[in-house]
């Protein structure tokens, strides 16, 4: 189990070395797709994720986190091959389906194998710090991958996508050394898959704080992800080269890495409610800031957005994991991704249509204004919780 924790640094580094993450919008645009078509492809991704996330989480809980992770890397490899070989919207859509499935199979399993290994070692109290450190290396990997991807794409996009295939092989190889954490499953006469889903939803119903935290974090992640992807096109519209765009994205990942690593230090000094409210307010500031900023000041706002995103990752991972039983962990964590996909399924194509008609900066401002009543509702709900710190032990 101790080796699992060390191995997670290696596996998650390769998993996060996503060399195409900051160029895929540019790549599809280069291949002749409009922003609306790109938004539809992202919807295909999130529709697949919405439908398959919880079942794949149950697969990880029933058949093993290691098995789920290995299959996820195989599907990622297939997705990249389709992206390289395709000239058709339909084939691109299949690529996004495989990409979504690879993400589904990874999401709950990779986080669960870390937490349950630490739980086996009676080190759950160190999870926030450990996951923050792993997130640090993940963000560094993303930054390096983005930088390299941008440079390669300035020569030819296919160079970046070809290297992505080798990265998937490295991630697959490292995952093969995982040891499955021992988890007790209650025996019953019901179909094991159906039982897993029923019990997981029962926990969500009984522990509403888990549900609230998942919904909130998913919504904030949706805002951050939408900004992250559409800013590729926004920076290109500013006549910034792909190499410089890659450098900007690389810097954001370094900042995100630092904020992830030291998030636990800030969290000790603030209450849970304060952190949640702070994230709401800062995201509104970021969205509206995009609509009023001009020139390179936009880059500063973008950097702030990615810092906040990095800060939230280990904090909410700990908040949610501590409230979930091990035998249902991957399934319930997958529900987190379902909510994220549900929000992305609506927001991403809407932003694509609005950006094409009104411009990206104005669109962000409109989303920011819409976000204000949502924040008010969240704060209202939080005020009805007597002590969030008591809920999260």
State pLDDT tens for residues 336-388.
777 877 887 778 778 878 887 888 778 888 888 877 887 777 667 656 655 44
- What is the pLDDT of the chain when averaged over all its residues? 80
Q: What percent of the chain has pLDDT over 90?
A: 12
Tokens read off for 65:
């986190």
Tokens read off for 29:
């645009």
- Dist. CA 242–CA 151, nearest whole Å: 7
Q: What is the pTM of this model?
A: 0.67
Number of Cβ within a 10 Å radius of residue 165:
14
| Between residues 70 and 220, the one the model is more confident about | 70
- What pLDDT was estimated at residue 191? 59
Q: Round to the nearest angstrom and report the end-to-end CA distance of the chain.
A: 23
Inform me whether the pLDDT recorded for 76 exceeds 90.
yes
User: What string of H, E and C letters represents the secondary structure of the chain?
Assistant: CHHHHHHHHHHHHHHHCCCCCCCHHHHHHHCCCCHHHHHHHHHHHHHHHHHHHHHHHHHHHHHCHHHHHHHHHHHHHHHHHHHHHCCCHHHHHHHHHHHHHHHHHHHHHHHHHHHHHHHHCCCHHHHHHHHHHHHHHHHHHHHHHHHHHHHHHHHCHHHHHHHHHHHHHHHHHHHCCCCCCCCCCCCCCCCHHHHHHHHHHHHHHHCHHHHHHHHHHHHHHHHHHHHHHHHHHHHHHCCCCHHHHHHHHHHHHHHHHHHHHCHHHHHHHCCHHHHHHHHHHHHHHHHHHHHHCCCCHHHHHHHHHHHHHHHHHHHHHHHHHCCCCHHHHHHHHHHHHHHHHHHHHHHHHHHHHHHHHHCHHHHHHHHHHHHHHHHHHHHHHHHCCCCHHHHCC
Q: Which of 91-95, 173-177, 276-280 has the lowest mean pLDDT?
A: 276-280
Split at pLDDT 50, 70, 90, the class of 169 is very high
- Dist. CA 104–CA 318, nearest whole Å: 20
* Radius of gyration over every alpha carbon of the chain, rounded to an integer in angstroms: 20
Tokens read off for 317:
């991972």
Inform me whether the pLDDT recorded for 174 exceeds 60.
yes
- Dist. CA 339–CA 386, nearest whole Å: 25
Inform me whether the pLDDT recorded for 389 exceeds 50.
no
- What pLDDT was estimated at residue 387? 46
Q: What percent of the chain has pLDDT over 70?
A: 92
- What pLDDT was estimated at residue 331? 75
| Between residues 188 and 31, the one the model is more confident about | 31
Q: Does domain 2-391 sit in CATH 1.20.1250.20?
A: yes
Alpha-carbon distances of 223 from 210, 279, 341, rounded to whole Å? 20, 11, 12
Q: Taking residues 160-165, what's their average pLDDT? A: 89
- What pLDDT was estimated at residue 151? 81
- Dist. CA 91–CA 101, nearest whole Å: 15
Split at pLDDT 50, 70, 90, the class of 70 is very high
Packing angle of the helix pair 127-155, 297-321 (nearest 10 deg): 140
Split at pLDDT 50, 70, 90, the class of 196 is low
Inform me whether the pLDDT recorded for 188 exceeds 70.
no
């Amino acid at each position: 189990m101790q080796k699992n924790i060390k191995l997670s640094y290696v596996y998650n580094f390769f998993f996060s070395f996503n060399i195409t993450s900051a160029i895929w919008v540019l790549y599809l645009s280069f291949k002749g797709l409009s922003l609306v078509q790109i938004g539809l492809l992202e919807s295909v991704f999130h529709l697949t994720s919405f439908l398959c996330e919880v079942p794949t989480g149950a697969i990880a809980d029933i058949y093993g986190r290691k098995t789920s992770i290995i299959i996820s890397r195989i599907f990622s490899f297939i997705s990249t091959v389709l992206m390289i070989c395709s000239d058709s919207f339909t084939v691109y859509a299949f690529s996004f389906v495989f990409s979504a499935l690879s993400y589904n199979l990874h999401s709950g399993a990779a986080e669960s194998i870390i937490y349950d290994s630490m739980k086996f070692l009676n080190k759950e109290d160190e999870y926030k710090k450990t996951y923050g450190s792993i997130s640090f290396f993940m963000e560094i990997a993303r930054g390096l991958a983005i930088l390299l991807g941008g440079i390669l794409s300035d020569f030819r996009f296919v160079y970046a996508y070809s290297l992505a295939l080798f990265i998937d092989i490295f991630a697959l190889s490292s995952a093969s050394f995982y040891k499955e954490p021992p988890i007790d499953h209650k025996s019953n006469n019901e179909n094991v898959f159906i039982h897993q889903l029923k019990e997981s939803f029962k926990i969500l119903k009984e522990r509403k704080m888990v549900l609230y935290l998942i919904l909130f974090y998913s919504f904030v992640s949706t805002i951050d992800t939408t900004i992250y992807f559409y800013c590729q096109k926004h920076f290109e519209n500013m006549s910034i080269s792909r190499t410089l765009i890659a450098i900007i994205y690389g810097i954001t990942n370094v900042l995100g890495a630092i904020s992830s690593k030291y998030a636990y230090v800030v969290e000790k000094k603030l209450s849970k409610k304060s952190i949640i409210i702070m994230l709401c307010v800062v995201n509104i500031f970021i969205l509206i800031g995009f609509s009023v900023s001009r020139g390179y000041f936009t880059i500063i706002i973008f950097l702030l957005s990615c810092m906040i995103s990095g800060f939230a990752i280990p904090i909410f991972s700990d908040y949610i994991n501590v409230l979930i039983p091990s035998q249902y962990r991957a399934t319930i964590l997958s529900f987190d991704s379902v909510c994220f996909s549900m929000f992305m399924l609506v927001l991403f194509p809407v932003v694509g249509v609005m950006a094409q008609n009104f411009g990206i900066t104005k669109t962000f401002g409109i989303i920011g204004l819409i976000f204000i009543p949502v924040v008010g509702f969240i704060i209202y709900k939080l005020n009805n919780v007597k002590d969030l710190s008591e809920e999260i032990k």
